Amino acid sequence: MKITFVQPPGLMAVDNYSTITQPPLGIAYLAAYARQHGHKVAVVDAVGEAVTRIRPWPLREKRLLQGLSFPEIIERVPKDTELLCVSCMVTHAWPMVRELIRELARAFPEARLIAGGEHVTSMHATVLAETPVEACVLGEGELTLVELAGIMEARGDFAAVPGLAVRGPDGRAVKTAKRARIGDPDILPWPAWDLLNPMAYQEGQSFMGPQAGRSMPMLATRGCPFRCTFCSSPQMWTQVWKARSPTKVIDEMERYMKAYGANDFQFQDLTAIVRKDWIISFCRELIERKLDITWSLPVGTRSEAIDGEVPALLMASGCHHVTYAPESGSEGILKSIEKKVHLDHLERSTRDSLAAGMKVCLFLIIGFPQESLEDIRKTFRFLRRMARLGVHEVAVSTFVPLPGTQLFDETGKIVPIVIDDEYCHWMAAATSLWTVRSWNPRFSDRRLLWLKLCAFFQFYALSYLCHPGRLWRLLGNAARGRQETKVDRVLHEFTVKFHASAKSGASR
């Protein structure tokens, strides 16, 4: 079939600190696999083709749209496209992506329409109810997509394809049989970056982690073996964790060095480091090949395997920045959300990482529906201890009930959840510094925001007091446009948003 993948424009919240603008790794993998199986493939990357174009989203206050307009996207879709595939990864972007899908359906009435991504997997019933897509691809998409394309070509029955959500006879969403995960990720071709321009994203300068050079996204593993109740990974990926061959991952990195001049690699793995033997093998081979690169783990990884010799090997191989995700400083909360982490072990890994010279970031969440003020105080004490220890930065989010998670269902029993556009927009509030929504009956919205700001203030005030050179380095990096930490990236992000908002205000 003639397949076109569409990466929608980016939808930014003006007041949050987690806008991520980077090449669409998932779409690049899907396009490569479809092409490998004989399909004619095109990609319309609405963000990458206009990465510096940011303007207000007219249907919601305090939202900015990044990338091509809908008419420009439609213009770039090949006229003979037979299958249109649209991705939606984040819930807060759904109202915008929904409108794009409707516009595509009107512009290409003869084309088949399907959707995929984390939001689509979790909210397939809403997607099918609100748009004309024929099927939602659930979870890992490569095998399902190619099999579905074959069935479409033969005009067969979708019910025979595992891993889908489709409309039943009564119009309601029904799932087909469950799709097994890919057993060996090394069977997949490398992402089809030749169908788009990954280096266009250099101008955006808002990757997942600090941009230390010509950055490329990478994936060394798929899935996560854990089942945190607030996370959508179990539904999207199941609890199957599969690692690629370290040699093949590094071969791919070398390919991007030659093809694109890449010298910085940001790994997007849900949980990159699970097996100690794997990460040691990976680091040693990187060191042996003497590649002049940097790489990082900005998404968050487990700490259990990072001890002893591992931090030194990470640093020697070019990994200067690592992110851990303890989520809470309260053992009671960690138990209730099934976060299988031991804070004392994480602290040892953090000490070893800092001693090796790495920059360390921590992810934390406050406002879980079962959380008490005493639990949050424990998280505050943990943050102060980490600041004294030398941790460089923290990202403190407020809890949001992600669709498809166990905690979403549990939260709905405490605080009513209505799945509508307002709910979708509030998903961006997790990292807002101005407005939040509390899903905890003990805390009002305003009080939860105050607690979040207190968390940031305690950590950074103590951190800069104990390590005053960091504040001057932060100011110097801001003046030179250099990124060494995620805080440097966030300052750049807010600058971009401020100028876009100010410009739009002046033009009214």
Instruction: Kindly report, residue by residue over 83-96, the tens digit of the pLDDT.
Output: 999 999 989 999 99
The phi and psi torsions of 201 (rounded to 5 degrees) equal -75, -10
CATH of 2-175, one of 3.40.50.280, 3.40.630.30, 3.30.565.10, 3.40.605.10: 3.40.50.280
The pLDDT of residue 235 is 79
- As a whole number, mean pLDDT of residues 236-254 equals 93
The pLDDT of residue 16 is 79
349 beta partners: none
Confidence of residue 503 (pLDDT cuts 50, 70, 90): low
pLDDT(260) > 80: yes
- Domain limits of the chain? 2-175, 207-466, 470-508
CB of 179 closer than 8 Å to CB of 220: no
Can you state the percent helix, strand and coil of the chain, rounding each to 5?
45, 15, 35
469 token code pair: 């050179």
pLDDT(506) > 50: no
- As a whole number, mean pLDDT of residues 450-479 equals 93
Q: Which residue has the higher pLDDT, 502 or 507?
A: 502
The pLDDT of residue 479 is 86
Angle, CA of 109, 115 and 118, to the nearest 5°: 160
The pLDDT of residue 497 is 74
Least confident span in 156-170, 296-310, 466-480: 296-310
The pLDDT of residue 245 is 97
pLDDT(195) > 70: yes
- As a whole number, mean pLDDT of residues 49-58 equals 91
The rounded distance, in Å, linking the Cα atoms of 462 and 468 is 10
Least confident span in 376-380, 470-474, 493-497: 493-497
Q: Please, what sign has the CA dihedral across residues 362, 324, 424, 200? A: positive
Which residues have a Cβ under 8 Å from the Cβ of 227 and sit 6 or more positions away? 234, 239, 338, 406
Confidence of residue 508 (pLDDT cuts 50, 70, 90): very low
pLDDT(492) > 80: no
Looking at domain 207-466, does it have CATH number 3.40.190.10? no
Write the pLDDT tens digit of every residue in 361-383: 999 999 999 999 999 999 999 99
pLDDT(507) > 50: no
- As a whole number, mean pLDDT of residues 149-172 equals 92
Mean confidence (pLDDT) of the chain: 91
Q: Which residue has the higher pLDDT, 81 or 493?
A: 81
Least confident span in 15-29, 163-177, 423-437: 15-29
Of all residues in the chain, the percent with pLDDT exceeding 70 is 97
285 token code pair: 């081979």
Identify the helix (H) or strand (E) that includes residue 13.
strand 10-13
Q: Which residue has the higher pLDDT, 508 or 495?
A: 495
The rounded distance, in Å, linking the Cα atoms of 331 and 342 is 8
118-to-91, 221, 285, 420 alpha-carbon distances in Å: 8, 17, 33, 17
Using only C-alpha atoms, the chain has a radius of gyration, in whole angstroms, of 22
The pLDDT of residue 439 is 94
**Which ranges constitute the DSSP H helices of 309-389?**
310-316, 331-336, 343-355, 373-389
